[in-house]
Structure 1
Amino acid sequence: MHEPTEELVLRLMQDDATCALGLMKGKERSDQMTDYELALTEWARELRHCACTFEDYKMAKSLATAVSHDGASLAAATEEENRAFQDRMTALQFGGLNPSTPDQLLGQKTAAMTGLTGLVGGFNTVSEQSRSTDTIEVRRSGFIETESPGAESSRVAAARNLDCQTHLKCVACMEAKPSFDIFKATCSHYYCRNCTGRLVHDSFVDESLFPPKCCRVPFPLPTMKACLDEEMIRKFEEKTVEHNDFNRTYCANLSCSRYLPPTSMTLTTRLCPSCNTETCPTCKQRAHAGVCVNGEVEILKMAEAEGWQRCARCRNMVELKCGCNHITCRCGFEFCYVCALKWKTCGCEVWDEDRLVDRAHQVAARNEGNPQPAQQEVQRAAQELREQHNCEHGRWRRRDGEYSCDVCHDLLPDFILRCQRCKIEACVRCRYNRL
């Protein structure tokens, strides 16, 4: 929402709260507050808090914008002062003046320049670190091919460096955002406030994204709170409990299906706080008397006939169409598709030969740009897949054009990222937040 619109909405809501509280005065005893009046009072307090937060945000943004606009001029002035000082020192040395005189001039110069360097110097540490991190990441990820910069004036260089100091590139939307609006992940990648909130929101409905992470490292909630409102923080904490529950129970009312945490447990059932339906935590059906009836017999028979496997942690069914037998479930559990045991605890083959050939044919067709690649290329791709089945996806290259993501299967109209080792093709979100 546009900032003036947000401010107007907030001001109107404050007026409504003040008016409603005014109408309540004199209708009840002065030493007692009704629930309605208490709710209005709390609402008005929250609105005042939101108004203060909004004003702080505008002030911080205004300061950052001012430094961004004026910083280039300040840096250029500092550079010119430095050159003038060096020229003066050279002239004094040629004039044979006392060596103590330059020291005195240095002290005067330092005092005079404090006002300028104080404004632009505070960004230097962050600037050097962020530029170094960005350079390393660009070379590692292969997103952008950079050329060696040519000669440039000190004024242009100062302006460019200051822009790097006040703006950082979000790895999700690839846009440069003000540094105060940026969240830094543990892996040193940067996410803007909007992309952080969107990723967290999407992780509530797509378990493959939870917990929100980048480069397989989860986002710490304490450092991420600045990008989330209180409602999202509450949902995140609730989702964490659900994610860590390996024997989950959901409301048996199909129109509700809300997760029922262990705290909702009564004597033998779990009570849904939304629809008051009682669910049996053993068979996951509506509460009943007597022994549970296994209603999964038909599903298990169909799974066995179709060759599906079941995750030992969350009990969800998994169907493998292409790839090796190393399965990573949405809940994060890694297991063998053949025997369902925890990965690397069994002696099963890593690849099914038919699935290996299918995947090798797919990779070879991509490499050659031909839907019917030569058999020799298919065999070479199959050998590489055998060797790279434990790929850490450390080297990526961008391919322009329309491609489909191998992980989420979304169709991408502009480009795809390809791992240089295992040849998997993934979108930006899957590359950073799933793989």
Structure 2
Amino acid sequence: MDYEMDQESLDLIIELQLQDAQSMIKGKYREGEAPDFEFALECFNAELQSFHTLLHDQALTRSVARAVVSDADIIRELVNQEDQARRDRELVLNGFGSDDINQLGFPPDDFPQNGESSGTMSDEMTSKLIVLFNGGDEALTVAESSRKGGQEQAVTRASKRRSCLICTDEFPFAETLRCPCSHDYCRGCLSNYVKKAIDDESMFPPQCCNKPIPLTGVNQIFLSPDILGKYRAKELEYNSEKREYCHVPTCSTFIPKQFIKDEVGTCVKCRKKTCVICKGASHTGDCPKDTATADLLRVAGDRGWRRCYKCRRVVELTAFARLNSATPAGNLGRLVDVSCGVKRCWSVETVGRTELPLHLLNLRIQVGAFDEVLR
């Protein structure tokens, strides 16, 4: 994005406009009662501040990109030295001495590695970032990249045009996404492909030559924030082993596991609560379709076990002792230690005909077969 003026001039213009807008915002009003003119000024002021932040972020990004270009050779050499030291250490650990390592003479680039050369990927991403944040001015990119010797490949790549696999039109290098199979996609075709994959799970994730199209890192700039957000949401949904959806037919939004607690899911869109057992609206008490809980409660009723009214776990009340009793409660068995906390779990428990505060009681739990139930 080229504004044909230096950063200092842009900062001054925006600062003056911010001052003018602020000076025109006068009195205080009740919430929701501000005049339309005042509201418009506040919106304009917020937009100016957002634009000011954007310009500073772009300037910082350009600075980082230029630093990467100018220091790329030094960084690559340091990385190669670290890689060589790591390889030498691995060989020593596998029984090779220093003389053996020298005799093997692995060149740094010939040693087996996973993935492609980090240098090539770094040059490509760096060149794209420089072009994009110089407003697409490839001539400026070439001039800046040429300041440092050894960057001929980046310069050549930055000034090259690529053909989109779908529409076959040619686009500037920085306006295309390159897949692992070396095919290229323009922004428009990539966006259409991703939108189809969002709507059709059989096409998810988007692939080219049976390899997923990388939509992470710098490649995210080829998608609009709206499409990228929907893609990430579908990625979370399609990768979930057990999917739960809102019970409201007009909503049916996916409920991530982070929004499910105690078998009740909260819809992130309409905020309605759904029982993940019966798939209907949430309800009090046990779900009638939860056969496992029904079977457990029958056993608990036969054996006199009790349930916590808060966390609903089943415990065996086999021994009671006051905390100030001389009889060590620890000798009676493992104490109840449920997630909601024993002292906060039950406020009052009926023992015989006497109601005693639970914080005066120690409860022993059945050890063994029912540990799984209580977790």
Q: Note whether the superposition's TM-score is higher than 0.5.
A: no
Tell which structure's C-alpha radius of gyration is larger.
2
Which is bigger in relative contact order (C-alpha 8 A, separation at least 6)?
A: 1
TM-score w.r.t. the length of structure 1 is 0.36
